[in-house]
């Protein structure tokens, strides 16, 4: 009988080379050669695969409460406020929110300020009280002209120690004429500090409207200059802006101390409740506008002065509650964490930048930027922190580690990160290393590739790998493999730069990694190491079994 030709039971060896390495892709659909997970990697040399640069430890705080930068670094350690390494004041021992306007750094919730030019640390709010029966409301003078019902005198108070002309002060405690409990604007303060003058007829006196007569309040009177209890602040067009609940506030132009000046002038303060669902979750100045965010809305304040200020609302993915500190601009885009993931915004509608996170729901975003990269620390469903970096030039995400910063600050071309353990680091591409460095970390890194199935249903057997890389002095690297998503990771290759006797560092070269073939439906690779390393390419040599042999189990 003639013999039928036999069916081939396998394919010849195939070599597949990868020289383009992308970013983080934590999705089940990630394909051959894509990176499913990583630790301390960077896109600085993409498409070359490389760990990030070491961080520099600048300082260790006992109780970190915040960090900010304005011509120098400010940080709060417990209740102590430091600027450029020098203690400048004290505040409550609580987490801080910062803002700035002109020479002033504003510290919330304490409503404190620091003037970087004069070195003065103080309170934005001010309060003074008279002794019982010590305030007389009367006719007086303003700018040298006799004026009716515009003056009060408190012999027990030196108003110059608390207020200045132009301040809006709230008067309370009046019982004879309760209508004098109001918030007028001080126009003049006498040289001895006991007399405040206002515009005409601001007060109600005894007598008649046409013939007012001075009178004295019998109780103690309180005078206050107040600031709203803002949750978030930013500066824009020479004003400090903020929000609380459903309301937006703007300070008097160029004046962090006054939030209640309503003179009908272009320099006035301004406030408006927007009347939509939910409280504000963050604010930022972006492309020339103060912008305020709720969970499901974005508000932009348009206009040039209080008389024409108006809010323009866009009901889309806003800032997730608890992620107000995720608002940061990088690469001409504004980034933030929403309930739908990390978003980028350029002025119209936000765009989702979350596809590579594989559906993991992150919360409590805290972010910073070196102008090109967007750094964000988030908590996963188990409240474990993850620090991710988005490179706006390359469009790639990378995961660094589990650092949990409470804040970032950008100063002198360096990005600083203050972590909840008190460590203050400078991170990323360090352009101007600080003079005093406590420690340079050693970077441990790893990448785990997605399943290699080679797009084929057959069993396959890997026989050899080729690695092209270079390593810094003292660095190590190793390659591990796991078959069919089960069992332990098996180390198949390890290399140390110090083990190469001819070199203090390992120049770029290729290595052959032969292994005992093991047939499997798919396999995964993990590269790990410590120290500087660049992987330029990786080739895998394998063969495919026939479908006849591709049965359940290993063969």
CATH number for 218? 2.40.30
- Specify whether 379 is located in the same domain as 458: no
- Specify whether 136 is located in the same domain as 211: yes
Quote the strand ranges of 237-281, DSSP E: 239-244, 247-250, 270-273
Q: What is the DSSP string of 109-151?
A: TTTEEEETTT--EEES-EEEEPPTT-EEEEEEEETTEEEEEEE
- Specify whether 453 is located in the same domain as 536: yes
**Residue that is written with structure tokens 């499901």 in the block:** 296
Domain boundary among 225, 252, 285: 225
Residue 410 lies in a domain: no
410-425 pLDDT tens trace: 999 999 999 999 999 9
Q: How many domains would you assign to the chain?
A: 3
Is the bond into 230 cis (omega within 30 degrees of 0)? no
CA atoms of 395 and 246, how far apart (whole Å)? 35
Task: Find the CATH number of the domain harbouring 47.
Answer: 2.60.120.260
Domain boundary among 177, 208, 225: 225
133-142 pLDDT tens trace: 889 999 999 9
**DSSP state for residue 68 in the 8-state scheme:** E
Domain boundary among 184, 201, 225: 225
46-60 pLDDT tens trace: 999 999 999 999 999
- Specify whether 373 is located in the same domain as 460: no
pTM here?
A: 0.92
Q: Which two tokens stand for residue 224?
A: 């206050």
Name the more confident of 500 and 70.
70
- Specify whether 384 is located in the same domain as 473: no
Which range (167-171, 287-291, 382-386, 505-509) has the least confidence? 505-509
Residue 309 lies in a domain: no
- Specify whether 380 is located in the same domain as 456: no
Residues 6+ apart with CB under 8 A from 552: none
- Specify whether 134 is located in the same domain as 205: yes
Provide the b/e sequence for 2-21 (b: ≥16 CB within 10 Å). Answer: eeeeeeeebeeeeeeebeeb
CA dihedral 402, 403, 409, 413 (to 10 degrees): -70
Which range (186-200, 271-285, 534-548) has the least confidence? 534-548
Containing structural domain, residue 381? 326-402
CA atoms of 173 and 512, how far apart (whole Å)? 87
- Specify whether 449 is located in the same domain as 385: no
Percent of the chain with pLDDT strictly greater than 90 = 85
Q: Is there a contact between 183 and 260 (Cβ–Cβ < 8 Å)?
A: yes
* 3-class state of residue 179 by DSSP: helix
- Specify whether 375 is located in the same domain as 452: no
Residue 44 lies in a domain: yes
238-278 pLDDT tens trace: 999 999 999 999 999 999 999 999 999 999 999 999 999 99
219-236 pLDDT tens trace: 999 999 999 999 999 999
pLDDT category at 505 given cuts 50, 70, 90 is low
- Specify whether 375 is located in the same domain as 451: no
Nearest CA-CA partner of 540 in 458, 449, 473: 449
The pLDDT of residue 546 is 58
Residue 102 lies in a domain: no
**For 404, what's the count of Cα atoms within 13 Å in the CB-facing half-sphere?**
11
- Specify whether 395 is located in the same domain as 475: no
Average pLDDT, the chain: 93
Residue 79 lies in a domain: no
pLDDT category at 555 given cuts 50, 70, 90 is very low
Nearest CA-CA partner of 472 in 426, 513, 508: 508
Q: Which two tokens stand for residue 491?
A: 């180390």
Residue 26 lies in a domain: yes
Residue 105 lies in a domain: no
* 3-class state of residue 198 by DSSP: coil
- Specify whether 455 is located in the same domain as 527: yes
Sheet of strand 423-427: strand arrangement:
405-411, 414-419, 423-427, 56-60, 439-440
467-495 pLDDT tens trace: 999 999 889 999 999 999 998 999 999 98
Residue 144 lies in a domain: yes
């Amino acid at each position: 009988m003639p013999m039928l030709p036999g069916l081939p039971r396998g394919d010849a060896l195939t070599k597949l080379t990868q020289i383009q390495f992308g970013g983080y892709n934590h999705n089940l659909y990630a394909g051959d050669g894509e990176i499913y997970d990583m630790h301390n990697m960077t896109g600085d040399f993409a498409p070359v695969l490389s760990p990030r640069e070491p961080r520099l430890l600048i300082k260790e705080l006992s109780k970190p409460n915040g960090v900010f930068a304005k011509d120098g670094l400010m940080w709060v350690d417990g209740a102590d406020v430091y600027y450029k390494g020098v203690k400048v004041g004290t505040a409550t021992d609580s987490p801080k929110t910062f803002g700035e306007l002109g020479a002033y750094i504003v510290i919330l919730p304490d409503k404190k300020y620091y003037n970087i030019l004069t070195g003065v640390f103080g309170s934005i709010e001010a309060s003074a009280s008279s002794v019982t029966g010590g305030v007389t409301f009367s006719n007086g003078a303003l700018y040298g002209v006799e004026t009716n019902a515009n003056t009060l005198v408190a012999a027990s108070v030196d108003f110059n120690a608390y207020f200045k002309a132009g301040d809006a002060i709230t008067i309370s405690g009046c019982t004879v004429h309760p209508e004098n409990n109001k918030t007028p604007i001080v126009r003049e303060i006498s040289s001895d500090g006991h007399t405040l003058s206002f515009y005409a007829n601001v007060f109600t006196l005894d007598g008649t409207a046409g013939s007012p007569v001075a009178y004295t309040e019998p109780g103690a009177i309180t005078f206050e200059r107040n600031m709203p209890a803002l949750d978030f602040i930013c500066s824009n067009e020479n004003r400090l802006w903020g929000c609380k609940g459903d309301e937006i506030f703007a300070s008097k132009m160029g004046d962090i101390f006054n939030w209640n000046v309503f003179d009908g002038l272009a320099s006035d303060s301004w406030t408006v409740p927007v009347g939509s669902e939910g409280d504000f979750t963050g604010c930022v100045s972006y492309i020339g506008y103060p912008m305020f965010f709720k969970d499901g809305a974005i508000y932009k304040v348009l206009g040039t002065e209080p008389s024409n200020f108006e809010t323009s609302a866009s009901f889309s993915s806003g800032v997730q509650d608890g992620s107000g500190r995720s608002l940061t601009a990088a690469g001409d885009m504004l980034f933030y964490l929403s309930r739908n993931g990390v978003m980028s915004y350029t002025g119209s509608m936000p765009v989702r930048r979350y596809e590579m996170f594989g559906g993991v729901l992150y919360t409590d975003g805290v972010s910073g930027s070196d102008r090109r990269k967007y750094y964000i620390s988030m908590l996963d469903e188990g409240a474990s922190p993850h620090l991710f970096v988005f490179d706006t030039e390359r469009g790639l995400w990378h995961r660094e580690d589990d650092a949990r910063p409470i804040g970032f600050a950008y100063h002198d071309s360096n990005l600083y990160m203050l972590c909840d353990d008190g460590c203050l680091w400078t991170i990323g591409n360090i352009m101007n290393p600080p003079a005093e460095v406590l420690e340079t970390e050693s970077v441990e890194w790893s990448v785990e590739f997605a399943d290699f199935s080679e797009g084929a249903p057959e069993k396959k057997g890997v026989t050899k790998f080729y690695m092209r890389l270079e390593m810094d002095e003292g660095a190590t690297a190793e390659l591990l493999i796991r078959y069919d998503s089960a069992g332990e990771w098996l180390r198949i290759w390890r290399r140390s730069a110090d083990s190469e006797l001819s070199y203090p560092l390992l120049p770029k070269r290729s290595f052959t990694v032969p292994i005992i073939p093991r047939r499997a439906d798919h396999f995964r690779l993990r590269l790990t190491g410590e120290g500087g390393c660049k992987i330029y390419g990786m080739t895998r040599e394998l063969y495919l079994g026939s479908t006849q042999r591709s049965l359940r189990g290993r063969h």
